[in-house]
Every structure is written in C-alpha cells, then in structure tokens.
Structure 1
Amino acid sequence: MKKGIFTILMLSIATTFSAQTCDELKLENQQLKDKLQQYGITLNSNTTVNSFSNDIKINFIKCIGDKKQQTVTVFFNFTNDTLPNQSLTLMNNFFDGRNALYAGALDEIGNGYQPLKAKFGPNDGFFSTTPLSTGNTPVLASITFANILPDVKKLSAVNFFVKSQNLLGGDNKIEGLVEIKNINIDWK
C-alpha cells in the first residue's frame, strides 16, 4: 500500500514538472518564432543551395512575395572563408563555351520567370561587382522576379551566375551557376 501511494505521488510530481517544462519550451519556441518573424526570416528547412565554388559560401536567407506588385524577391548572402582579395560579380547570363545560359526561376509546375532586378551589396543591377572580404563577413544580395501570382506558394529553383576573381589579378578566377532549390514564398 505504501509503495502504491509513493508511486502515485512520484508520478504526480513528475507530471507537474513535465507540464511546466513543456509549457516553458512552448513559450520559448514561440518567442524564437516571433523574433525570426520580426527580422523577416522564414523557416525553409528544405531549401538547398548549390554553389559555384567550395571557397565561397552562399546562404539562403528568405523569400518575400509582394501580392500587389506580383513580384518575388529571393534574399541570400555570400561569405568567403579562404580566398584573399576577391571581388564578386552577380550575372544574369553566362556563356559556357557552347550555350548561352540565363538566370531565372521555376515554380512547382514548371512556369518560368525572368529576373526583374538585382541588388548586390551596395550596388543595384546585374553585372555589378562587390568586394568580398576574407572571413565571416557576409555580403547581402537579392534577385527580384516579376509576374508571379500570389497563388504560387513555392519556387522549385532559382538560378543565377556568379564570377569571382582576385582584385589584384592572378589566375584564381572562378565563375559558374548558383542554384537555390525548394524555396517557400512568404507573401506580404
């Protein structure tokens, strides 16, 4: 009998403690979600980025849709861990030696969208060049696509081209395709 009462008492205490811990975690989780939303960051856990270089990292930040303008802007940044004295150029087309390739976006059913504008660091427009420091100093960039209706909830892929080269000259010029996949659109 004493064992039964003791067991019930212990379970009661454990349940109360567990409920408090669960409530505290829910509150903390909500506070973190609110903070992310305050900074305009959306959770895109399935979003992947394929970079043109192992030395230059590209991080997806968010994707915001403007219902009124029917535009979608994809935000991302670049960091350079290893290459000194680099400059980056964001390009909307690229010739690979055989084909002319163009930047664009695809939705989930295969509709294609052309870029309307780009912002790269302090500069506006494609083919603008921005210095990229060595270290963990990010350069913010964005590409805006036009004529996307608010019923499009996700972009399957966004493609654009980047060229990196040493500001002081030299042979370490790298250029190629960047692809960001599975992007949820946060319509405003």
Structure 2
Amino acid sequence: MTNGGPSGDAELTAQTLERAALELLRRDGVLGGLNLREVADQAGVNRGLVYHYFGSRGDLLRSALRRNVRERVSAMRIHNRPMRTGARIREAVKSGIRYASSIRLAALLVLDGDKQLRVMPDLERTQEQFRREQDAGLIGRDVDLVALHAVLHSLVAGYVLSRSHLAKEFGVGVRELDERFIALAERCFSAVDGPLADVSDD
C-alpha cells in the first residue's frame, strides 16, 4: 500500500478491495487470473483507487493475506493453551479449515515466486509455545521442534487445500473426512508426546 497504509475511509476502501479480490479468486479460481480492474469493479469503487492502494496484483494479495492471517492468529491465541501434541492437530486443522482463504492465498503467492511472503507469520510465538510445552514434558525431549512445526504446518495446509477434492474422490462427505483425518492425525502426532503428557485437554 502507498503512503504507509490507508486510514479511515481509505482503510474501508482497501478492505473492500481485498474482499473483492478474495471473492474473485473463489469464483474464478487461481488459473482465472486476477485483474485489478475487475477487482475495482467487483468492489464498486473507482478503478484508479485500486492502483492507488495496491500497485500490483502481488501487493493486493499480500495485503489480503496479511489481514486474513492476523484474524486467524488472533482467533487461535484466544484458544491457545498447553496441550498434548496429538490433541493440537485437531485445533490446527479446524483453524486451517476456518481460515482456508489465507492458506489458499499463501499457496498462490508461493507458486507466484513471492519472495516477501512468510508462510508461518506467527513462527516465533509458536516455537516459544512448543519450547514451553517441551520443558513441561508435554512434547518429548528428543523431538525436533522446527521439524514438528514444519510437519504440522505442511499437513494442515496440504489437507485444507485438497480436502474437497479428496472427499469427492473418496466418495465421502467433507465433514466426515475431516473427522476421520483428524482422528488418525491425532494418533500419529501422539507419538511425539512426552512421558509426562497426562494433562487434560479440556
């Protein structure tokens, strides 16, 4: 965004443009491209404004992604608490499904070769949480926390991106597949729980 970012009415216009871009991506798909003039038309604003706030398609997508990720991280922090690693997958998958648009946007920007994107914008806080849980015995002492984080992120992102297609190909409902996927993932991730991991997840 230009001029250090919009405020007031300009902030509302920028949000409207971001929502319009996300809607066009949902409607037309990634391969349909994203034309900034179409975004302005979809948002119902003067076409010149989209170029004023967002100089390029990448800038617009990055801004929409940052806003979406801030909302997702804020929601996750409300529910953040120490838990067994096997149980963490349930919340991670459900959060990923709830904020799937940020995962789709991140994938699009990765495929576009975006060099500024952070696919794990809350990396430091999450790693610190993992370290506290490892110190408390909830995660095994021998578990590589960077690898754990990468595996968890990749598992959630990969599933969220393909869950509808997978459900269709398997011939099951999406929600049924979600529960079956989460149940097995919980069992797999319980292998990294520490020996003292007998706390309640409630």
Q: TM-score, normalised by structure 2?
A: 0.26
| Between structures 1 and 2, the one with greater helix share | 2
Bigger Rg over Cα = 1
Q: TM-score, normalised by structure 1?
A: 0.27
| Between structures 1 and 2, the one with greater strand share | 1
